Amino acid sequence: MGENDLKLEDIFGSTHFSNDADGINLIAIIGAGIIGQGLAQTIAGEGIEVIVVEKDEEHRKNAKEQLSESLDRDIKRWSVTESEKKAILSRITWEKSLETIKECDIIIEAVDEDFKLKKEIFQKLDQLVKESTIFVSNTSTLSLTKIAETTKRPEKIIGMHFLNPVPKIPLVEIVKCFHTSNETVKIAKFFASKIGKTPVEVYEYPGFVTTRAIVPLLNEAMYILMEGVATAEHIDTAMKLGYNFQNGPLEMADMMGLDEVLAWMETLWKTLGEPRYRACPILRKLVRERKLGKKTGEGFYKYDKNGKIVSSSF
């Protein structure tokens, strides 16, 4: 029996959950940005009902349209069928109030890397939802222990750091904070395998593995560009062909969102004090100009409405 064939009663016994054999029937996602949309698609694609909570009608409408367009692109690539798209969208409910997610089994927070915002969300959820609900944060740099300590259920707080694009990246970092129970870790691992992800356990530390390792590479590529060593296109081509990368570092940064990349760098620079995390001025300039990469149509590259590179900006 493979890991994907496990059921939670095999781990905890048949009385652990009162729902069906899995005990994971309804998932909530707080935040409908790129990661939130990718999570919704991935989870709904595995037959699980999802509630996506976004703060206002405009953001919800934009998220729905972006997800639909993303699925249409997948249809053109033959990776999703029309019927699969309809099934995925039918399992996603869009809401604006946290009150609508009281009965969810797992709640995934996928908002901006803002400690105060995450803390406020978790504190509100703590008062609303059932005692058995597990809270997941998709943070890549912030302290889960500090977030957990603002709730009355710190043992049920865990990090699951998903990478973009979520439907295509088969990895998730499982981050156990100081208070996280072993039971919560096991459930998080089971959930990861249920949605087709390979869980990798990491210790709570700024940047964990993936963010901490990739940020210096992205930053150095930006400095190489700023110093005029090579164009953006040639930097990315060199890394793709020289090291078998699927995407070059500047294209990667655009895909991640330049505002997100800057937030990671600033947190790591402030927390660790290592010069390699000090953000390149060219990144700060692009973020000031709201050229945030693929999601805004321009960053290190310019993109068409389908997210394809049209030309380099440098």
**5: DSSP letter:** G
Q: How far apart are alpha carbons 138 and 141 in whole angstroms?
A: 9
Is the per-residue pLDDT at 13 higher than 80? no
Instruction: Say how many residues make up the chain.
Output: 314
Q: How confident is the model at residue 5 (pLDDT cuts 50, 70, 90)?
A: very low
- Residue 17 has a pLDDT of 40
Q: How far apart are alpha carbons 297 and 47 in whole angstroms?
A: 32
Task: Using alpha carbons, list the distances in angstroms from residue 274 to 141, 174, 269, 270.
Answer: 14, 25, 6, 8
Q: How confident is the model at residue 18 (pLDDT cuts 50, 70, 90)?
A: very low
- Residue 22 has a pLDDT of 59
Task: Using alpha carbons, list the distances in angstroms from residue 8 to 11, 13, 14, 138, 306.
Answer: 5, 7, 8, 23, 40
Residues forming a β-bridge with 198? 171
Helical segments of 154-231, H only: 182-194, 210-226
Q: How confident is the model at residue 296 (pLDDT cuts 50, 70, 90)?
A: very high
What pTM did the predictor assign?
0.83
Q: Extract the tokens encoding 168.
A: 């295509």
The architecture of the domain spanning 3-203 is 3-Layer(aba) Sandwich (3.40)
CB-based contact 120:45 (threshold 8 Å): no
CATH topology for 212-304? N-(1-d-carboxylethyl)-l-norvaline Dehydrogenase; domain 2 (1.10.1040)
Of the listed ranges 6-10, 11-15, 73-77, 154-158, the least confidently predicted one is 11-15
Annotated domain spans of the chain: 3-203, 212-304
CB-based contact 267:254 (threshold 8 Å): no
Hey, what's the torsion of the CAs at 139, 64, 125, 107, to 10 degrees?
Answer: -60
Closest of 267, 144, 266 to residue 202, by C-alpha: 144
pLDDT in tens, 112-135: 888 899 999 999 999 999 999 999
